[in-house]
Structure 1
């Protein structure tokens, strides 16, 4: 194996005794940063390095060494990050080196930064190579490894040549301040040559075992290692790293005896050093290559290093041994095989906990490659790690299958929580890959199958979200989306996700103009939801739309109106049966919305609305003025709608002093609505008709309308002084309601004058024109009758033949002619209508025209 496996090469062996005049504090500074890095506190180490490097008074030598530490820290962080995140830190390490060289091109020790930069590239190539060894589809990763290893060689070769050229120059002249001595350059030359050998060793492992490329690269690695081995002193620590790497080369070449001899020499001479521990890990791999699994296992009965690089290597070698023992027992002893399989899974967990995510990921991937995809590896933990590994490799479909298999094993073993989690992971893979239809199906089925699991509502809501994304391109999927949301609110009505489902459902139904369904969804959202205020406003809006659409035909269903009001009351103290409880602004809003529904759409909801509003008005704390000015007009409307409370409404209205005209407009429009309800024809003011055959209100309704008209006139008088300040539509509405009120109050002359003004300003408003024309014909003046006849002729000219309005206008013209003592003309017109297809036969107007014709003493043909 390459040394060290983490790929981070720390050049310390030749820095010792370099002659730099560091103080104790500077040495402590470097040891502190190195300690942070070794404990994987990369962010803190990087922050500390940058903070120190920002000091312009920093000595040049210390600045160089802190830059080296910063590069190593960034590269080490890249190794321990995920594949996606690691790229950023690899680039940061290289940028740090490039920035140093740009800012300090003449630094006497800048050569070290260039060497460290080359070693970053080597570490990156080795990192890719190690990943490729445990991937099911390693082609792309292997190519990346080769690319960076080639680049590392291109960087190291010229550095080696530069160092070789510089050594004799340093022999002849003493180095200037801060420069490397000739001895340090020689040590650095050996290091660079050793790292070049590691480049070839890593490159060799990028090729198949029996290939010529692998053989050639191993030969080159051996040649590079033999060079410094022949020149360096036996006391140089580098010699043991060289021999260890030579042993690795020999093992890979199948020269097991030579490898054994080299490892023995390392163990005997460096028994207490980290290199000796690494040699033991290599010894294990040598045994495994020779299928001597028991001998490999025996190595671990000896003392082991507590922490550090060697400990990680030895634990990883133990994992390899467990897997080899599993493979050996798999065909003969299933129980023993299961034991070693489970032991391997435990070792992977331990490696990740003790040595960090980098080693944990490598252990996972090795476990996946060796056990996970095997038919004999059907253990929940193994299958789960298999799936995780496949996911990291980007093999999405295989990862989903593996998660599902692991979930099946877990559920079969009664491990419901783990089974749910694994099925959830399978669905999340498809969710992240934007496979919305399949992700939605998988998440929905998971939630329904294991509905009692705490995360089931979350999974189900995510199923709805995926269905919504599917519906963006397939509109026919909208109902599936709606079904899932409705299913969610019924299955988990009190879950934390239920209100979100209701919000989504309300928005969907509102966009489809399905007002009642939208209102019910919005209304059910609790006050705990972030959007509850907007939801209740939307509910009010949608109920208005729903009832407005059905106000004419058919009228709003009383049960539905009551249910809509109750839906708002549920959010108030009234709905909870504790009306004396403290009221919030949101609850008072709901009370007014319930009252509005009852006032506008209920058959007789006035008393109920009065109680709701009075309770909210009297509640504690006292309401804010803005809300009170909305609620009090509604309360007066509730009083006006009750026969025995109308006088109270008039009294309250007379003493009211609302600062805004909006409050009076609320009463005006509300009372006007009550009056129209009592009119046989809502578009025809009370007391105005073509003749006695027009429908007439009962005496009771007539009295009620007149009482309401008194209330309405009080409001009109309050608003009339503001007429010049009103906009066009408001001015017209106020004038129109005043004219109707005068008419209902039997003030005919004033009503006629009011309608005359309206008719003159609104020639296109047929309802105003008809009412004005009828009033003219009901006056005592012959001139008015003639004006009425002319008005009906103008109206008739705007009617389409054969329509109700057309017959109505023709009837009024004939009646006016009779009234003006022109019966012959009236009869002529009626006969003309009779002859003109389709005639009068079978129409509702036939009898009425007959009655007119009888008045002319001319029989109907």
Structure 2
């Protein structure tokens, strides 16, 4: 519960406190270690990218320490340790697919995914040998029974197939590597598909994973037919929303944007519950519709829907899903740089800023400001220009910061905000004069320009005073 609420510090403290208690039994020690691994992985996923590696490494260290103690209950921790490697690789894989990480850095995703594959393969082999032996004897204290291990083995197989699918997605469609890995995933899933009892929720997950592999192999008609049976009562709500996301993606893979939009009409909520993966699929639909609309009248509407949904994803599902949404916006912007409006450009600029790419953020804010001016959104345009100028000021590019504000304010001098923004440009220019006195002509030019353009505005009193101070000083 604490982890779901993103209260990671409290979740970690709880686990560590209980693990440090001598009276904690072996079963609880195993469960607490699993929860601690999940907490560290979640912190890596939802936290800043700069801290990601540290949290994942801490999770790996916790797992290794537990397993070195030769617990009679190692399998749950071994499985969660493998899933930590999977989470690490899947995170980078999603960024590569969204274009946020260059494809040349493919190994950053493949390395942890291969580690997860090896761990799950080894664990499956161990369980295949151990379960029959355990059926012939009584389990020791705190040891899992043969039936419990058999149930865990089905989860191992499901996650192993999932890793194969994630690895396959990193390769181009119809490439031999992709086909081989996706077919391997389907082959692995055949065992849990026949072994899991109908009442086990894992059965639904196995079927969905099979269908996703089918979609990625290009068998879209078959995938669509199977998915339609999964997005129905009495399937669980969360599962139906996940299946609906895949229905949308199947339509998009078939270039059928109209069908994807039609599926959207079934709603993004089910029993008042949202799902991050479905919201991401909705965003993919909006962006595909924008690209299809090109520069028609519908283009702006699709862009605004996409920007609003990306913003909603961050507030509803947290920073990780907000980043995923923003990465898709940036990828779409790169594909259609001249067709983007202020809504997309503003959101993309915000993303660049949060990622620390200040130069790209400043460029994108200025483009967004220009688009807003063209669309008649003066206040939005001035706001975006101001954001870009502040970035340049922080980078100590004072002249460029002044240029941006001067340019924006003079486009709509009658706006109530323009005089104040132009006066800020004067201040930025003054900052450059302090550093380089040779830049004083630019400072005097925009100072005089301010007095001439806004003679009756209250800001002109201040501008006049500065001009007199300069003249007196000289």
TM-score (norm 1): 0.47
Q: Which residue of 1 aligns with 2:137?
A: 173
Q: Is the 8 A contact 2:406 2:421 kept in 1?
A: no
Gaps of 5+ in 1: 1-34, 469-476, 503-519, 522-558, 561-861
Matches of 1:486 and 1:397, distance apart in 2: 28
Deviation at 1:70, TM superposition (A): 1.7
Matching residue within 50, 58, 62 for 2:24? 58
The 3-state SS of whatever aligns with 2:10 is: helix
- 1:127 match: 91
Alignment of 1:419-568 (within 5 A): 419-427=381-389, 439-446=397-404, 448=406, 450=409, 452-453=419-420, 457=424, 460=427, 464=431, 478-480=436-438
Question: Residue 38 of structure 1 aligns to a residue in which SS?
Answer: coil
Aligned 8 A contact 2:385 2:405 in 1:
no
Asked whether 1:75 is paired with 2:41, we answer: yes
Match of 1:37 in 2: 3
Of residues 410, 421, 429, the one that matches 2:372 is: 410
Alignment of 1:17-28 (within 5 A): none
How far 1:363 moved relative to its partner? Answer: 1.1
Q: Unpaired segments of 5 or more residues in structure 2? A: 410-417, 451-457
Q: 2:305 aligned with 1:347, yes or no?
A: no
Equivalences for residues 296-311 of structure 1 within 5 A: 296-302=260-266, 304-305=269-270, 311=275
- 2:280 aligned with 1:316, yes or no? yes
User: CA offsets, 1:328-377, max 9 Å, x none?
Assistant: 3337xx22232222222222222222111211111112122224652553
Distance 1:283 1:448, change over 3 A: closer
Q: 1:91 to 1:467 in 2, by over 3 A?
A: farther
Please tell me whether residue 205 in structure 1 is matched to residue 163 in structure 2. Answer: no
Cα distance in 2 between the residues matched to 1:234 and 1:289: 31
Aligned partner of residue 108 in structure 1, secondary structure: coil
- The match for 2:256 among 285, 288, 292 is 292
Distance in 1 between residues matched to 2:426 and 2:253, nearest whole Å: 47
Q: CA deviation at 1:135?
A: 1.4
* Conserved 8 A contact 1:417-1:453: no
- 1:235 corresponds, among 199, 213, 217, to 199
- Cα deviations by residue, 1:738-788 (Å, 9 ceiling, x for unpaired): xxxxxxxxxxxxxxxxxxxxxxxxxxxxxxxxxxxxxxxxxxxxxxxxxxx
Deviations 1:778-800, CA, capped at 9 Å, x for gaps: xxxxxxxxxxxxxxxxxxxxxxx
**1:372–1:382: 8 Å Cα contact kept in structure 2?**
no
What whole-Å deviation, never above 9, does each CA across 1:129-175 have from its counterpart, x for those lacking one? Answer: 11111116622453311121112112222222222221122111111
**Residue of structure 1 equivalent to 2:180:** 216
Within-5 A mapping of 1:550-589: none
| Equivalent-residue separation in structure 2 for 1:338 and 1:145 (angstroms) | 35
- Measure the CA separation in 1 of the matches of 2:29 and 2:425: 52
Deviation at 1:181, TM superposition (A): 0.7
User: Is the 8 Å Cα contact of residues 372 and 378 (structure 1) preserved in structure 2?
Assistant: no
Determine the C-alpha separation between the residues in 2 that align with 1:284 and 1:275. 15
Offset of 1:488 from its aligned partner?
12
Q: Match of 2:124?
A: 160
> The residue matched to 1:65 in structure 2 has which SS?
helix
Whole-angstrom CA distance in 2 between matches of 1:483 and 1:108 = 79
Separation (CA, whole Å) in 2 of partners of 1:81 and 1:69 = 18
Change (3 A) 1:324 1:330: same
Partner of 2:342 in structure 1? 380
- How many angstroms apart in 1 are the aligned matches of 2:429 and 2:436? 15
| CA deviations over 1:91-133 (Å, ceiling 9, x no partner) | 232233233334xx12222321121111011011111111111
Q: Which has the larger radius of gyration?
A: 1
Question: Does the CA contact (< 8 Å) of 1:194 and 1:228 recur in 2?
Answer: yes
**8 Å CA contact retained: 2:15, 2:35:** yes
Question: Equivalents in 2 of 1:454, 1:54: separation in Å?
Answer: 58
Over residues 9-57 of structure 1, what are the superposed CA-to-partner deviations in whole Å (9 max), with x where a residue is unaligned?
Answer: xxxxxxxxxxxxxxxxxxxxxxxxxx22222222332233233333232
Whole-Å separation in 2 of the counterparts to 1:352 and 1:319: 13
For the pair 1:329 / 2:287, whether they are aligned, the reply is: no
1:553-574 superposed Cα distances (whole Å, 9 cap, x missing partner): xxxxxx99xxxxxxxxxxxxxx
| Match 1:365 to one of 322, 327, 351 | 327
User: Structure 1 CA distance, aligned partners of 2:53 and 2:369?
Assistant: 33
Residue 219 of structure 2 is matched in structure 1 by: 255
Report the counterpart of residue 187 of structure 1 in structure 2.
Answer: 151
- What root-mean-square deviation, in Å, do the aligned CA atoms of Structure 1 and Structure 2 show? 3.6
Q: What is the Cα deviation at residue 201 of structure 1?
A: 0.3
Is 1:356–2:356 an aligned residue pair? no
Paired position in structure 1 for 2:66: 100
Residue correspondence of structure 1 range 787-798 to structure 2 within 5 A: none
**Quick check: 1:263–1:283 contact (8 Å CA) kept in 2?**
yes
What is the SS of the residue equivalent to 2:214?
Answer: helix
Residues 431 and 161 (structure 1 numbering): CA distance in 2 closer, same or farther, change over 3 Å? farther
Count of aligned pairs between the two proteins: 448
User: Structure 1 pair 231/457, CA: closer, same or farther in 2 (3 Å)?
Assistant: same
Cα offsets for 1:226-279 (capped at 9, x unmatched): 232233333332121111011001111111233234324434575234222211
Larger RCO, structure (CA 8 Å, separation 6 or more)? 2
Query: Cα distance 1:386–1:141, how it changes in 2: closer, same or farther (>3 A)?
Result: farther
Shift of 1:440: 2.7
**Contact 2:405–2:421 at 8 Å: present in 1 too?**
no
- Looking at structure 2, the residues matched to 164 and 463 of structure 1 have their Cα atoms a distance apart, in angstroms, of 75
Give the Cα–Cα distance (whole angstroms) in 2 for the partners of residues 147 and 428 of structure 1: 40
Contact 2:389/2:405, CA 8 A, preserved across alignment: no
- Per the alignment, in what secondary structure is the counterpart of residue 199 of structure 2? coil
How far residue 306 of structure 1 moved from its aligned partner, in angstroms, is 5.3
**Cα distance change on mapping 1:325 and 1:100 into 2, 3 Å:** same
Matched residue, 1:150: 114
Contact 1:207/1:213, CA 8 A, preserved across alignment: yes
Alpha-carbon offset, residue 58 of structure 1 = 2.2
* Distance in 2 separating the partners of 1:49 and 1:286: 41
